[in-house]
Amino acid sequence: MNSAEATWYRWEEDDLILSLRVQPRSGKDEFVAPHGDHYQGSL
């Protein structure tokens, strides 16, 4: 991976591996935005 590519996901053979940071008990469910080496979401 070069420095321009996202680091919060990767493929391992047929599996997609996601690095997520999730905010529990949020008022709404949403994917927020990538933040460096993880993707932020709310549930």
d(CA 37, CA 12): 17
Q: Judge whether 3 lies within some domain.
A: no
Tell me: the pLDDT tens digits for 1-12?
444 577 899 999
* Residue 31 belongs to some domain of the structure: yes
Cα(8)–Cα(16) distance, integer angstroms: 11
> Considering the chain, what percentage of its residues have pLDDT values greater than 90?
42
- Confidence band (pLDDT; 50, 70, 90) for 17? very high
Considering the domain boundaries, does residue 1 fall inside one?
A: no
When divided into structural domains, the chain yields a total of: 1
29-42 pLDDT, tens digit each: 998 889 889 999 99
| Domain encompassing residue 17 | 9-42
4 in any annotated domain: no
In a domain, 36, yes or no: yes
